[in-house]
Each structure stands twice: as C-alpha cells, then as structure tokens.
A and B are shown apart, each in its own frame.
Chain A
Amino acid sequence: MEGMQVANSIPIRCRRNVLSSDGVQRMKYASLEILERTGVIIKSKRAQKLLVDAGCDFDEKSATVRFPPSLVEECARKRKRSVTFHGRTHRHNARLDGDHVHICSDGNGTMAMDFDTRQRRSSQKKDVANAAFVSDALKGHGVNWPSVTSQDVPDGTRHIHDLQASLENTEKHITLATNTTESEVEDVLAIAAAAAGGSEEFAKSPFVSSIHTSSSPLVIDAEGMDAGFTAADGGMPICFYVMPGPGATGPVTLAGAVAVGVAESLAGNTIIQLHRPGTAFVFSCGMAVLDMKASTRAGGGPEHGLTSAAYTQMAHHFGFPALAGGFVTTSKEPDEQAAYEKFASSATPILAGADLIAGIGLLEDCRTVWLEQMVIDDEISRIIGRMAEGIEVSDDTLALDVIDAVGPGKDFLGVRHTMNRFREEHFMPILSDRSSWDSWTARGAKTMLQRAGDEVRRIMKEHTVEPLRDEVEETVGALLKKRSG
C-alpha cells in the first residue's frame, strides 16, 4: 500500500525460533487432532449453527463441536492476508507483516500506583488516560491496549469510558477487551465511527480492534463469541486470546499447552471466518505456568516467553499474525525481579518475531499499572529491539575506507561515518545511567525509579496528542445516558 509505514516497530533481521520444523509439523497435527477428536465446547447458538452447517460433528447435550481438519485448514486460508492495525493518525499504522514486532501495552489491569499520591488503589478512568498518553509518547511502543480499566464509573459504562479515555490520549491503534457483549461492541463501533467520521470510514482503516477469548481448556462462551460477530461485522480486526496455563488450564508440558492454545485459536478463526469470510484475525495468547508453590500465574517465568514464541511460530505457519504475552512480572514494584522477569519473558517472543507483544507498564502479573514501569519497559523493549535487529553487513557498515582513512593508532570519534551512523547502530539509552560515579552523584545519585519518574513528568509536560472530532464527545454523552439509565 502506498505511503504505508511500519511505525514504532522492531524489524527482525535474525529470527530465533524455538520449535524445529519437525516440531511445527507435529504441533500442527496435534492441534488439528485435538479439534477433531476431543472437540471444543461452543456455547454460542449462532456459532453452533454455522459449524453444523459447515459439516462439524455436534453433541447437543455437552455442546461439544468436533471439527473436520479440512474445514479448519480451509478457514485458516480465508483470513485476511495482510493485517494492519491502523492508528488514528496515519503515521502510527502498525502493519502486522510477520517481519516486525510491535510492542503493545496490556491489558485490563484493575489496580494503579497513583503517580502523585503514591497510593496503590483501584484503577480509575484517569489511569486509563494517563497510561495511554505516556505510551503514546514512547518510541518503542506501537499499539495501545488500555493498561487498566475505569472502575470509578457506573456499571455497564466501563467500555465507553475506557475507549474514550484511550482515544483522547493516543493516536496509536487501540485494541480493546472490555467490550464483551454485543451491545457493548455496538457502543464501541458507534464511538469509533464518530472518531473516524462515519462507519464506512472506520471500516476502511479500523483504528480499534476487538479482543475476544476462549475459556481454556477448550471452551468458547456464548456472549463473547456473539460479541465477536458484531465486531467483525463492524470491520474490527479480531484478536482471539487464549490462555491455557501449563499445569492448570492446559497440560503441564509446554508443547501440550501450546497445542491446546493453537487448537482454540483455530476453532475461533473457523467460527469467525464462517460468519464473515476475510475478517482480520490475530492469533493471541498468554500462556504462563501456574506456580506450584504460590498458586499464582507465573507470567514472568521463562516458560511464558517460550510458549509465546512457539505459539507465534504456529500462528505464522497457519498464516496469521500473533499477539503474545511478554514483559510480565509477578513482582510488586519496579525492582530487580521486575527487570529480569520482564526481560526474560519478552526477549524470547521478540526474537521469535511475534507481531505484537503485550505487557508493558504492569506489575503483579498484569494487575497494577505504574507509569514509571511503562518507560522502563520501553527501554527494555528498545534494548531487545536492538538485539533483534542483529548486525547489518554491507560496504558502509564494514567501513573499510573509513578504517583506512583513520589508520592505525587513531580514533574514530571525529569522523563523519561515526556521526552518520551512531544513532541507529548503537542503542541510545533514555533511562539507563551510564555516567561515572562522580557525574551520577553530582546529579543527585538518582535511582532508576526516580529517573523513570522524571521521564514520565517530562512526557506529561511536553507530549501532545492530536485532538478528536467533537462528535466523539456527543456520541459518548448519548451512550452514557442510554447505558446508565
């Protein structure tokens, strides 16, 4: 497409896969066998009808659908081939082409560390707004999944407030998970249309996508699936999020859990493509093990990165973009554990080339947003991004003429080649302090958390976001009246 940009993304020069090609083949047949032999409980009547009409085996009593592999593979070929997560402004378009990683904030936390009062409290609409605003300014960040949800608003209106706060504070693509019913999706579509200047305009370049989920293992609920149909009809790309946790909602072995996850995603796609062929469908997962001692989800474990990477390989094998969990930690504050868990859980899927990786900004296993953590995670994402870019070998990068011109015993600091290339060749830290002890102490010996706080304040002061059309506020006002009344 002319003028299309791949904004705020990491190009993958040297992919590190976690499954061998034999592993990919076995995983493919395993997921198809799960669908054919074990089947999936599908609670949506509309989905049941579509599947039965297409030739699936259906057990009415248990609502279990068994899928012929040929149907699953045929529907996998019906998905939209190139998926773009459009930004509200053109420069923020995220093209999910399999060769670029876009870092995504994540996703429906319920707590916030208040930046001003330093209180850990329930998340509010202003937290949705602040997190969207800060992430909009981050160079390493591509797509906005509201980090937390608005809990200081009347029941039944959270999805409206979450979307409004996000739209007002970011130009980047918004992927939304708080629209879990058909009427909620209708509200989202109405607001998005107001922002786009009409439903048709929105469907042409949808800057909001919709997240729907399975209930692992192997259950797809009615309400969420029906909401997905409405979203697909409105032109929204569908992210179908599966979370079989190895040892709990999936087999303890990572291969088995990934096979279940892939099976659920294929089932979701089959239903969506039967309903509306050509819908943009994104394989999405967050498969972290259950910690067998603390009985919590261990999102920062090394297994999470591995499942995300393996699932990405399978998504790409079937021709889908992948949204995978990463940047997760169970730590309670932005400390050493948070840093290494986030690095470990994101490095593997980034290097494997997942199209979207969700998780920045949150602590306590995706529960609590810290604005400081958003900028720290951005730094981590840019570091791993540099790792993923690898080493470019060309005449200009080998620099033989420069080496010859400088000659033995001199330095390369004052040559133009250095100035022309250092910015892209070297990772440029924003938060990492590489100064000497003297300079560091002279500047107040600030900790990482303090420096991150300074960066948040700088963004709050200096960053700007393109304003919305006036129609958005009118539409939101009308919907709030309707849904509160």
Chain B
Amino acid sequence: MEEIVTRLKDAVINYEMETIADLAKQVVDQGVDPLVAIEQGLAEGIKTVGERFGKGEIFLPELVMGAEAMKAALAVLEPAVPQGQHRATLGKVVIGTVQDDIHEIGKNLVSTMLSSNGFEVVDLGVNVPAADFLKKAGELKANILAMSALMTTTMPRMGEIITPLKKDNPSVKTLIGGAPVTDVYAKEIGADEYSGDASGAVDSAKNLVG
C-alpha cells in the first residue's frame, strides 16, 4: 500500500480532523486512486476506531472525532472518484429524525456508528417529512431506512412511513430507535429492526443486510 494511504488511515485513527483534508488533497495530487484511498485508508482507519470503541478502549468523543476526520477526507476524495465507480460498503442507509422532532444527537451517533462499521450513510437531518423519507429511499436505492423519534408525540410518524414503504418499495428494510421507542412498539408498527442504543444499531443493520 502506498505510504500516503497509510498516513490517511493513521490520520483517522489519530482523529486529525483539522488537517486530514490537506492530506487528502495530496493524495489526489499524487494521482493515487481515490477509491483505494477511501477503502484502504479511510475505511480501514474508521474500522479500527469503531473496533476500539466497541471494546471500550476509547470513548464517544474519540469515535465522533474519528468519523469527523473521515468525513473531512471523504469530502475531498469522493468528488475525485471517476464516474461509474463506487466504493464497497455493507449497504446504503438513509437516516433521519421524523417530522416535528428536532432531537438528533442519538440519530447522529447511529450515523457515526454505522459509517464507522462499513455502511454508507445518507443523513436527511431532522424534522424530515414522510414524503422525503419515501422519496429518498427510492431515489438513492437504500438498503435500509433508519428513523428516530425522541417524543411519544412524534413516534407515530415512523409507522406512517413504514406502511406505504412496505407497499411501494418492499425491498427497503426499516430500522427504528429513540428514547420512547421499544421493541414491542417496533413490532406493532411493522419495523424490521429496533435498537435501544447506537452500538446495537450496528448489529441490527448487519442483520438487515446479512
């Protein structure tokens, strides 16, 4: 592997989020294949960070900073990937917080955990209308549609998305979570998977694509 790709990997492992974009520019300037840099550099780096977090060796701020570093480098490398080529991932996850709900820290953690475990994550943000979830899931050919709600008042929105999704786009699996959500509720509204925390969401997502 090229030395600079190893440096990219180490930059993620060492949470160099302030300087990694410059390193990524050097990668492009040197003519290194951006897909190789993403897969063998960034993805390997974030995998190491994710594993350390899973083992309890590092903590949440470190995991998030590792992910921030990865994102900063991806922003440089992805546009350099030649048209028609794609990086290998475990699957594509479209994620968001449902309409009328703006509590996103849990959703962000799930995004971080999923991307650090090999998923490609598209984050629609907060206060996402049902129509947007349905549209994006189809457009982006998502494997998983992940939704969060923090309030009992917004929780029913998830069911209102799952029902039409099952009809129109049955290949997309659903994963839900959020403080008031339980496994019992998930069954009631027909969700495919539920997780009570960000770490568990990775196993749930793997079950769905496995």
Contact = CB atoms under 8 A, between A and B. Distances in A.
Interface in B72-108: 104-105, 108
Nearest to B62: A419
B15 interface: yes
A414 B196 contact: no
A481 interface: no
Interface of A: 411, 413-414, 416, 418-419, 422-423, 428, 435-439, 442
Given A422-B59, A438-B195, A413 B200 contact: no
B61 interface: yes
Given A414-B17, A436-B197, A439-B200, 13 more contacts: A411-B105, A411-B108, A413-B60, A413-B64, A413-B108, A413-B109, A414-B61, A416-B17, A416-B18, A422-B59, A423-B59, A428-B59, A439-B196
Contacts of B15: 416, 419
Contacts of A418: 61
Contacts of A423: 59
Nearest to B69: A414
B195 A413 contact: no
Nearest to B179: A436
Contacts of B68: 414
A459 to B, nearest CB: 16
Residue among A411, A419, A422, A442 with the highest chain B CB neighbour number at 10 A: A419
Interface string B181-203: 00100000000000111011000
14 contacts: A413-B108, A414-B64, A414-B65, A414-B67, A414-B68, A419-B15, A419-B62, A422-B59, A436-B196, A436-B197, A438-B197, A439-B197, A439-B199, A439-B200
A438 B196 contact: yes
Interface in B5-44: 15, 17-18
Interface residues of B, number: 21
Contacts of B65: 414, 416, 419
B203 to A, nearest CB: 8
What is the predominant secondary structure among interface residues of chain A facing chain B?
Answer: helix
Nearest to A421: B61
B196 A419 contact: no
Nearest to B18: A416
Contacts of A428: 59
Contacts of B104: 411
B46 to A, nearest CB: 13
A456 to B, nearest CB: 18
A106 B46 CA distance: 46
A66 to B, nearest CB: 62
A416 to B, nearest CB: 7
A406 B200 CA distance: 28
A416 B61 CA distance: 8
A417 to B, nearest CB: 9
Contacts of A439: 196-197, 199-200
B61 A413 contact: yes
Contacts of A411: 104-105, 108
Nearest to A419: B61
Nearest to A412: B61
A411 B97 CA distance: 15
Contacts of A435: 197
Interface string B39-67: 00000000000000000000111101101
Contacts of A442: 200
Residue among B17, B64, B104 with the highest chain A CB neighbour number at 10 A: B64
A411 B102 CA distance: 12
The 10 closest A-B pairs by CB, nearest first: A438-B196, A436-B196, A414-B64, A436-B197, A419-B61, A414-B68, A413-B64, A418-B61, A438-B200, A411-B105
B178 to A, nearest CB: 12
A437 B196 contact: yes
Nearest to A440: B196
Contacts of B108: 411, 413
Nearest to B197: A436
Contacts of A419: 15, 61-62, 65
A411 B60 CA distance: 13
A54 to B, nearest CB: 60
Contact of B105 (A413, A416, A438): A413
A423 B58 CA distance: 11
B64 A436 contact: no
A413 B104 CA distance: 12
Contacts of A422: 59, 61
Contacts of B18: 416
A419 B62 CA distance: 6
B61 to A, nearest CB: 4
A413 B108 CA distance: 10
Contacts of B60: 413
